[in-house]
Structure 1
Amino acid sequence: MEDTFITVTGNVITDPRRYTMKDGATAALIRLAATPRYLDRRTQTWREAETAYYNVWCHRTLAEHALTCVHPGHPVVVHGRLRLRTFEKDGHRRQSAEIEATTIGHDLRRGTTTFTKSHLSTPATSEPPATQPPSATTSPPLAA
């Protein structure tokens, strides 16, 4: 079965919630509200369509970073696998849309942010990598 990938822009509506998975990995759940806007050509005014709500799941490093950086009201762009979950509540069959995020970032059309690159820790016994010559697949430098 092929996965369906989706990219959604919207606003974070709750504080991310931390979860610990059975294997000890960190997961985070973020609630996202996305309200599409469109230009009504007849009236030449912007209109808002119905708001869609998503549960966004992040895992491992992405979860840790989201827990630190994403807060209610932040405009974000989320890319990941779309999952539709069916359940029963109050005797009615319902469906929720979930995104298993592969990437999350602030929507820079709506503000600015500061990026700090994380550095993966390496075991103390490891030696620094040796300098390798460029591989045959590396493109040569461009001539000036």
Structure 2
Amino acid sequence: MNDVTVTVSGNTGSTPVLHLNAAKNLEWTTFRVATSRRYMNENGDWTDGPTLWFTVKAWRAAAANVVESVHKGVPVVVTGRLDVDEWTGPDGQQRTGLVIHATAVGVDATRGKVGFTRVVHHDTVPDGAPVTRVGSGELAAARPGDADPFALDALASGSAGDVRGDEDDPGDDAGVGQRELVNA
């Protein structure tokens, strides 16, 4: 592949809106991001360079998460495939714009306090059991003893970091290995 992958840090210039193509059962969102390079001029003062504008497109579950998490004016970091959109403007002139097909969108924690909530998608099989996706995406019932998709067992045992029990009492292992949705 000869795709150009970029990472852009900037501010959102519009609030993302969720769109749905009902025929294809496909959700997507677009929003604008502005970024300006800062540089030191010949007098030694920091100066803003020209502003570059990008349209960001996100698809499927990422689109829904972006709509819930990002609003106009929020500092973001976006990574994705760079593309150019071409269209004819209302004045009949040919126009172009830079587009990032996002593979990752995050609120920039270096510029403010950020909260995180993991989204867990729960599918069901006919008998109502929780499921996991295997191979080509078919559903299979999750069984006790299946691999932990978030590696929480490894964290609780200390092999992927020392996360044990009550942080106020390192000898207290109560609750180690319990799973719950956590806001970080």
Moved more, 92-101 or 124-133: 124-133
Count of aligned residue pairs for this structure pair: 134
Distance in 1 separating the partners of 2:95 and 2:14: 22
Q: Structure 2 matches for 1:98-113, cutoff 5 A?
A: 98-113=99-114
Tell me the CA shift for residue 13 of structure 1: 1.3
- Distance in 2 (alpha carbons) for counterparts of 1:4 and 1:58: 17
CA distance in 1, matches of 2:143, 2:47: 55
Partners of 1:38 and 1:131 lie apart in 2 by: 55
1:61-90 Cα distance to aligned partner (Å, 9 max, x none):
110111101001100000001111222322
Q: Aligned residue for 2:169?
A: none
Identity of aligned residues (%): 28
* Mapped partners of 2:121, 2:146: distance in 1: 21
Opposite residue 103 of structure 1, the aligned amino acid is A
Distance 1:105 1:75 in 2: 9
SS at match of 1:65: helix
Give 1:20 deviation, angstroms: 0.8
Structure 2 residue 32 is matched with structure 1 residue 18: no
**C-alpha distance in structure 2 between counterparts of 1:93 and 1:25, whole Å:** 29
Q: Which has the higher strand share?
A: 1
1:11-58 Cα offsets, whole Å, 9 max, x none, are 111111111124112101111111121122x21111111111111111
- Which protein is bigger by CA-based radius of gyration? 2
Counterpart AA for 1:3: D
**Where in structure 2 are the equivalents of 1:1-144 lying within 5 Å?**
2-21=2-21, 22-40=23-41, 42-89=42-89, 90-123=91-124, 124-125=128-129, 126=131, 127-131=141-145
Distance in 2 of aligned mates of 1:49 and 1:129 = 56
Between the aligned partners of 1:88 and 1:28, the Cα distance in structure 2 is 21
Tell me the amino acid that sits aligned with residue 2 of structure 1.
Answer: N
CA-CA distance at 1:132 after TM superposition: 5.4
> SS of 1:68's equivalent?
helix
Provide structure 1 residue ranges, at least 5 long, that are not aligned to the other structure. 134-140
After alignment, is 88-97 or 123-132 more displaced? 123-132
CA positional deviation for 1:106: 0.9
2:167 is matched with which residue? none
Whole-Å separation in 1 of the counterparts to 2:146 and 2:16: 41
Secondary structure at 2:67 match in 1? helix
TM-score (norm 2): 0.67
Q: Distance in 2 between matches of 1:25 and 1:3?
A: 23
Three-state SS of the structure 1 residue aligned to 2:119 is coil
